[in-house]
Amino acid sequence: MDDDSVRPTPRPTLAHPTLADGADMWRVARDSAVLDLNSVYAYLLWARDFSSTSLVARIDGRVCGFVSGYLRPDAPGTLMVWQIAVDAAARGTGLAGRLLDALADATSATTLETTITEANAASRRLFASFAERHGAELDVTELFTAAHFPADAPAEAELLHRISPLAR
């Protein structure tokens, strides 16, 4: 039997992105077919300017997931998670949860926020599970309603999920 056929899938490594990762973050977002796909430029900008509040995951050197976030300028103790995605082949192994845990650890944030559509059960479970692991409250409120989106680019309401306090 070929040795490669029994080699276990290596545990993904996590790192803050560099400019060289921007295009891969865009690819993972595109392939998710769920996330709003922004321009490549936006991911390049993110990889340069918000690297310390973002992470990429790699298996065998290939990017297979990312989380992008920022500390809110008016509330720097709040980590806003903008996008998180894992390639289909790497899902269901706890990778997204690891990305969130590692990102929270990498910042001094005591609150984590994100927005999720009602229909995204995987994402709702991901963040609920994060709150449980951290012994934090999870509050869900309206943020971007359907009325905030223009008629020629309609979108589902995005509910704000606010998780606090994160122990420091």
Ligand X SMILES: CC(C)(COP(=O)(O)OP(=O)(O)OC[C@H]1O[C@@H](n2cnc3c(N)ncnc32)[C@H](O)[C@@H]1OP(=O)(O)O)[C@@H](O)C(=O)NCCC(=O)NCCS
Cis-peptide, bond into residue 165, ω within 30° of zero:
yes
Q: Is 116 in the site for ligand X (CB under 6 A)?
A: yes
Identify the residue among 44, 55, 85, 163 touching ligand X (CB under 6 A). 85
Residue 104: partners with Cβ closer than 8 Å, 6 or more residues away: 79, 112, 130, 134, 166
Selected from 9, 93, 108, 145, the binder of ligand X by CB under 6 A is 93
* DSSP helix/strand/coil, 52: helix
- Residue 70 is given by DSSP the state E
H/E element, 143: strand 137-144
Window of 3-11, 42-50, 70-78, 80-88 that interacts with ligand X by CB under 6 A: 80-88
Number of continuous H segments (helices) and E segments (strands) in the chain: 4, 7
* Binding test (CB under 6 A) with ligand X, winner from 42, 97, 143, 157: 97
**Shortest reach from residue 69's CB to ligand X, in Å:** 12
Toward ligand X, which CB reaches closer, 5 or 100? 100
To ligand X, the closest distance from the beta carbon of 96 in angstroms equals 3
Interacting residue ranges for ligand X, rule: CB under 6 A: 32, 34-35, 84-86, 91-97, 116, 120-123, 125-126, 129
